[in-house]
Amino acid sequence: MQASLAYLEKTWQRMFPEAPYQFNFLDERFDKLYESEQKQGTIFVSFACIAIFIACLGLFGLSAFAISQRIKEIGIRKVLGANVTGIVTLLSKDFLKLVGIAALVAFPVAWFVMHNWLKDFAYRINIQWWIFLLAGILAALIALITVSFQAIKAAVANPVKSLRTE
């Protein structure tokens, strides 16, 4: 490598003595081309994590509010023999429906944006359907974990405390 570079420099100096000899490797040029994409990817991942955290906080607050509105219903269901799994399922079902509706709206938009962004690259990939399935499952799992904390807390609470005020 060094001998080749020295030979190229000597040839350059002989052909163009007034111009300085400068070289770079093609892989370094490709790295510089994709450096901005990598920085942009890091920024997107950071903001996505922040957005997911804020969404989880909102979902947590919404589930706490919805459960506090239905605390008497939960107490009556417990008195009538409902188990913790049934109550958690009942409370989580509404939130999972909302996540499903959000996914149905978001997936076509995400596909369209990604498809248009990938058109700018010389070598591109097609977006597979299983990526959206995985994202939907992950979103449902995060929502279920967020809501189930409040739902389990309400399901194991003593029903006498919630029904005492009536």
The mean per-residue pLDDT over the stretch 5-13 comes to 87
Q: Sorting pLDDT into bands at 50, 70 and 90, what band is 165? A: low
Q: Which residues of 98-120 are buried (b: 16+ CB within 10 A; e: fewer)?
A: ebeeebeeebeeeeeeeeeeeee
Specify the pLDDT at position 105.
95
Could you report the per-residue pLDDT of 68-100, keeping only the tens digit for each?
888 888 888 888 888 888 888 888 888 899 899
- In the numeric block, the tokens 């008497």 are attached to 72
Residue 6 resides in a domain: no
Cβ neighbours of residue 162 closer than 8 Å, sequence gap 6 or more = 71, 72, 74, 75
Q: Sorting pLDDT into bands at 50, 70 and 90, what band is 166? A: low
Two tokens, residue 13: 């100096």
Residue 3 resides in a domain: no
Burial of 155: CB neighbours in 10 Å, binned 0-12, 13-18, 19+:
buried
The separation between the first and the last C-alpha atoms of the chain, rounded to the nearest angstrom, is 88
Q: How many residues does the chain have?
A: 166
Number of domains in the chain: 1
Residue 101 resides in a domain: yes
Which residue range is the domain that position 155 belongs to?
23-163
CA distance 155 to 57: 21
Cβ neighbours of residue 59 closer than 8 Å, sequence gap 6 or more = 95, 143, 146, 147
CA distance 27 to 35: 12
Task: Return the number of other C-beta atoms located less than 10 Å from residue 75's C-beta.
Answer: 20
- Least reliable range by pLDDT among 28-32, 156-160, 162-166: 162-166
Residue 123 resides in a domain: yes
Residue 4 resides in a domain: no
Specify the pLDDT at position 141.
93
Specify the pLDDT at position 32.
84
